[in-house]
Amino acid sequence: MKITDVTLTPVHTRRETGLVSPHVIVELATDEGLVGLGEMSDFGHIPPYMSPYVEGLEAALKETLVRRDPFDLARTEELVRQRHFGGSSASLVACSIDLALYDLQGKALGRPVYDLLGGKVRDRIPVCYPIFAMRNPEDVEQNLKRVADRLAEGHTMIRLYFGLNLDLDEAFLDGVRQRFGKQVQIKSLDAGGAPFNWQQAIQAIRRLRQYDFMLVESPCRRSGIEGMAEVRRQVDVPISEHVGSAADVLRLAQANAVDIINICLSSLGGIYLARPVFAVAQAVGVACLIGTTQELSIGTSGQAQLGAAMLNLDYPCDPVGPILYQDDVVRQRVRYEQGHLIVPSGPGLGMEIDRDLLHSLRRDLFADRIGW
């Protein structure tokens, strides 16, 4: 099987909050008629002036990928990484190609991707719904309503980005416990966007500890690994941090800075490079969870395929993009049941493009984002 063409389609999808997220959908055509699907998820984190020029990126990827065999995955991905397509978005680009190559392999074999990763050790993955950082008093009530709406749909677990305004955070957490009691579980408090040093992180965690959460993520990015280790020494709750490579896991473990690592395909560059991250974490006794950058269904299936096959997926995970987005580009979105992401079991990633949806969501990556 040989790749014959590469098509990139930029799309915009609306979130329930009114925000619009730009993505790029990847299609790798082959001489056997199969098409591999990948996704560069949520360029909303990247300023428009740093977003890739899609037509140029497509031409460069064509030059690299056409005539290559999708089963020659390791070398192909190495080439993509070496050429650093997408600049500051290079890991998003690499991840999208990795997903599309795995999708092609699975489709060619008639097997889901998890069968290429060791087989399925679970059918479903517990996931949590994100509550984004609160800035205004009215955010508290709106977010409590969101929790009630999700609870009605069977989602019993949430996570909270905290630390911009601890009074609002506390009012929200208090509201959760008053209204929903133990019906709602709080997976994590995430200070990734908060301006904490390690001393402030410890104070904040102690202040909110009574509300009962499983872990704290990214407690004090300002204070680095040593600061994180200090937080971990002084609080009685597990500490989690994102990693960009297997080497990051070693660094964090050697500094005694974490209990858990957050593994996200779009920052690691895909499934192939995520597997050694799970292996190193297991070797050094650090737990794993799968994070998110808010993927559409194609990217979420990638996370689900990986999560299905890893024995050491130890904590509830974060991929709920298809719940947050009102739009998607596939015929059947990934499914959620009772707070779990159901692992798609069709060939490859188990996703099929809906041409009409893809066409209707197509939008320049930069459109409407001036003044970001």
Structure tokens belonging to residue 34: 């199969």
Q: How many residues bind Mg ion (CB under 5 A)?
A: 3
For the bound state, the minimum distance from the C-beta of residue 264 to Mg ion, rounded and expressed in Å, comes to 8
For the bound state, the minimum distance from the C-beta of residue 192 to Mg ion, rounded and expressed in Å, comes to 4
Taking CB under 5 A as the criterion, the residue among 77, 98, 217, 259 binding Mg ion is 217
Residue 103 near Mg ion by CB under 5 A: no
Determine the interface stretch with Mg ion among 12-20, 202-210, 212-220, 329-337 (rule: CB under 5 A): 212-220
Taking CB under 5 A as the criterion, the residue among 98, 115, 190, 248 binding Mg ion is 190
| Residue placing its CB nearer to Mg ion in the complex, 77 or 217 | 217
For the bound state, the minimum distance from the C-beta of residue 193 to Mg ion, rounded and expressed in Å, comes to 9
- Please answer whether residues 348 and 105 qualify as being in contact, where contact means their C-beta atoms are separated by less than 8 angstroms: yes
For the bound state, the minimum distance from the C-beta of residue 172 to Mg ion, rounded and expressed in Å, comes to 18
- Please answer whether residues 30 and 2 qualify as being in contact, where contact means their C-beta atoms are separated by less than 8 angstroms: yes
Residue 248 near Mg ion by CB under 5 A: no
Determine the interface stretch with Mg ion among 57-65, 100-108, 135-143, 211-219 (rule: CB under 5 A): 211-219
Q: H or E segment at 252?
A: helix 246-254
- Please answer whether residues 204 and 191 qualify as being in contact, where contact means their C-beta atoms are separated by less than 8 angstroms: yes
Residue 192 near Mg ion by CB under 5 A: yes
Residue 58 near Mg ion by CB under 5 A: no
**Neighbour-count burial of 167, counting CB atoms closer than 10 A to its CB (0-12 exposed, 13-18 middle, 19+ buried):** exposed
Q: H or E segment at 35?
A: strand 35-40
| Residue placing its CB nearer to Mg ion in the complex, 98 or 217 | 217
Q: H or E segment at 109?
A: helix 90-109
Q: What is the C-alpha to C-alpha distance for residues 314 and 4, in angstroms, rounded to an integer?
A: 40
For the bound state, the minimum distance from the C-beta of residue 73 to Mg ion, rounded and expressed in Å, comes to 28
Q: What are phi and psi of 315, to 5 degrees?
A: -130, 160
Q: What are phi and psi of 121, to 5 degrees?
A: -105, -5
| Residue placing its CB nearer to Mg ion in the complex, 192 or 276 | 192
Q: What is the C-alpha to C-alpha distance for residues 216 and 191, in angstroms, rounded to an integer?
A: 8
Interaction site with Mg ion (CB under 5 A)? 190, 192, 217
